[in-house]
Structures are given as C-alpha cells and as structure tokens.
Amino acid sequence: MTAQYAIIQELEDALAHGSADRRVKTLRRVTDLFVFGSGHFTKDHVAVFDNVFNHLIADIEQSARVTLARRLAGVGNAPPQVIRTLAFDDAIEVAGPVLTRSELLDNVTLVENAKSKSQQHLLAISRRRVLPETVTDVLVERGNRDVALSTAQNAGAKFSEAGYVRLVKRSEGDDALAQAVGSRPEIPRAQFLKLLTSASNTVRAALEAANPGHASQVRDVVAEVAGAIQAKTAIASRDYAAAQALIGSMQAAHRLSEIEVEAFARVGKFEEVAVALAVMCGLSIDVVERVMVQESTETILIIAKAVGLSWPTTKAILMLSADKRVMPEHILDQCRMVFNKLRRDTALQVVKFQQRRQAIHPAAG
C-alpha cells in the first residue's frame, strides 16, 4: 500500500493547499486507484479512502461528484460513508447512479432517503434491482405517478398488503399503472379483483393476454360488471381449494364458529373468511367474494346479521374487505349504526331470497 498511501497523501496536500483543479485531478487519480484495486483492499484500507473522499466531496464541483458517483456506484466494497453522502446529494445527477446501483445502501438508508429527498431521487430508488416492502411502502405513498409506475414495473420489488391497496387505488383511471399492478404475479386476489372492477376494457384485455393464469378471473369480473359472472371459476380457484378444505374440516369437527371467523379476519385470511361466510349463510363462494370486494358495505352487514355475528366480528370482516384495514373510523361508525338497527329476520329474508335466486340461476349467483 506504499504507492496508494503516497497518492492519498498527495490528495490530502491538495485538500489543504491545492487549487480546485488540482483537487479534481488528484481525486481522479485516487478514484482510479481505488476502483482498479478495490478487490484487494481490506476494511482498513477502504476506511482510509472513505475519510479522504468525504473531506473532498464538499469542495469539488458537481461534475466531479457525478464522475465519482458513476465510478463508485457499481463497486461492491466502495467506501460506505462516501456512498451515503453521494446518495443524499441534492443533485440527482450525483445521487441517481448510487441510489439505483449501489448495494451498500441498506433499507433503513433507502427509506430515509425516500422520505426526505426529491421525486427524482425516489424514481432512482424505484429502479433498484431489489426493493423490499419497507422501501416500496414509502415509494408508493410519497412518490408521484412516475415513481409509482416505475416501482410497479420493477420485477424485483416486493409490496406489502398496504402497498397493494395504495397501488390499486392509484391505478383507477390510469391504464398503464393498472396494467403494471395487475400483471404482478403475487398480487393478492382481493386486490386483483378490486383492480379489475374499475379497470378499463383495454387493461382487462391486456391482462388476460399477458397472464393466461388470470384469464378466467378477468373474464369473470367483466361478466360481473355485465351482470353475469361465472360462478365456477372462483370455486375452482387453487386458493379457495385450500380454504375449502380447511373450513370443511372445521365444520365436520363442529369447530366453525364466530370465534374462528373473527380470528381469520383479524389476520387477513380473505379466502378463509369468504368460504366460512358462504358455508354459514348457504351462499356460493363467488357471491360472498363479490360482496367482500365491492365498495358498498351494506350486503356484508346483511350477511353478518343473518349469520348471527356480533359487531366486533363484523367490523373485522369490514376492515379485511375494505382495503386491508384502512377503513376510516367515521365510516365504521356509520356501519355500526346500520348494523345495530338492522333486524335479523330482515337480513335472513334477504339471504333466503339470494339463496332461491342462486338455486334457479346458479351461474348468475
């Protein structure tokens, strides 16, 4: 490291006594030295470079910082503090390469950056090879339309349930975003159905063509909007097959009760709740499923009252159905008032009417 330390000493002299041009030239030499030899440097060596680089950054012009960021962004053991400094640079030309490419930025740093920097910074983050849920939550919530679209199109991005709720809401009236969100293979079924309900015919056709596995679901939602949903598709769903097996075994063992339904709802088990309600009220799964993904809460209240559920359990089902536990408190208060006033015999009459209709027209639900 004798030659390397000699150059670093030269840089320190340039910092203390040299002109701006000399500092930039020396920085270029040190950068070359680090990039070409980075695979052989120990942590102590990297720390030395880190210290010198950080002293220099504040005193060099933007074009030199841009060059430095581009050179270091792809280096696996680049000086970590200088990488952080570059990532938080106000100039996106400097921060962008590091935010998009550097593997040295941990999730905490990325979240901090996404919460405080510009939309261009968020867009650069959205293009990273891998994005965890904690980061995409911020990008989807704070980012503009370009950021949301870029994040949704990133195959390496992971989304929380809350993230999918926001993406589905933001995709209303935005065909490109709706198609990007709907094309993600891991999108929760409930959110996929919500997206399809408000999506344009163009988006539905594109999703059906791009995702053969979703083709039947797309056609079902189109049929539902037209008033003629195909009931068998939902029942044949692989997701519902597992839920049906579980609920069936619970029913056979006389363990299917309100306690279990509430427990399923509180932990986000959409399929299990839908199957349990279908069994308890004598309706098909696809009918209950449609009720749970619709914006209107009235039918959920009717089914819950007819089954004999309490308000706490009904509330848990509403929160599961309405955008994954983000239903406003004032809406919940209105639902509670309606639920308390609703007579059970009235609710039973509505459910019985639906049962007769289902028996006569099973495909219509």
- What tens digit of pLDDT does each residue of 175-218 get? 999 999 998 989 988 888 888 887 887 887 788 777 666 666 66
Selected residue with higher pLDDT from 329 and 7: 329
DSSP 16-46: HH--HHHHHHHHHHHHHHHHHHGGG--HHHH
Angle between helices 80-87 and 62-72 (to 10 degrees): 130
- Highest mean pLDDT among 150-164, 212-226, 312-326 belongs to 150-164
Cα separation, 149 vs 141, whole angstroms = 12
- Per-residue confidence (pLDDT) for residue 26, from 0 to 100: 65
Q: What would the pLDDT profile of 57-73 be if each residue is shown by its tens digit?
A: 766 788 888 998 998 99
Question: What single-letter DSSP state applies at residue 298?
Answer: H
- Average pLDDT of every residue of the chain: 82
Q: What would the pLDDT profile of 291-305 be if each residue is shown by its tens digit?
A: 887 767 888 999 999
Residues 214 and 207: beta-carbon distance below 8 Å: yes
- Per-residue confidence (pLDDT) for residue 216, from 0 to 100: 62
Phi first, then psi: give them for residue 274, nearest 5 degrees. -60, -45
HSE, CB side, 13 Å, CA atoms: give it for residue 68: 33
How far, CA to CA in Å, does 18 sit from each of 34, 40, 85, 163, 169? Answer: 21, 30, 23, 51, 56
Cα separation, 360 vs 365, whole angstroms = 9
Angle between helices 107-116 and 119-126 (to 10 degrees): 150
- Per-residue confidence (pLDDT) for residue 236, from 0 to 100: 43
Sign, CA torsion 160/166/172/173: negative
Residues 20 and 65: beta-carbon distance below 8 Å: no
- Per-residue confidence (pLDDT) for residue 304, from 0 to 100: 93
Residues 112 and 84: beta-carbon distance below 8 Å: no
| pTM for the structure as a whole | 0.60
- Find the helix or strand (DSSP H, E) in which 239 lies: helix 238-252
Cα separation, 139 vs 132, whole angstroms = 11
Q: What would the pLDDT profile of 117-174 be if each residue is shown by its tens digit?
A: 999 999 999 999 999 999 999 999 999 999 999 999 999 999 999 999 999 999 998 9
Over 60: is that where the pLDDT of 364 sits? no
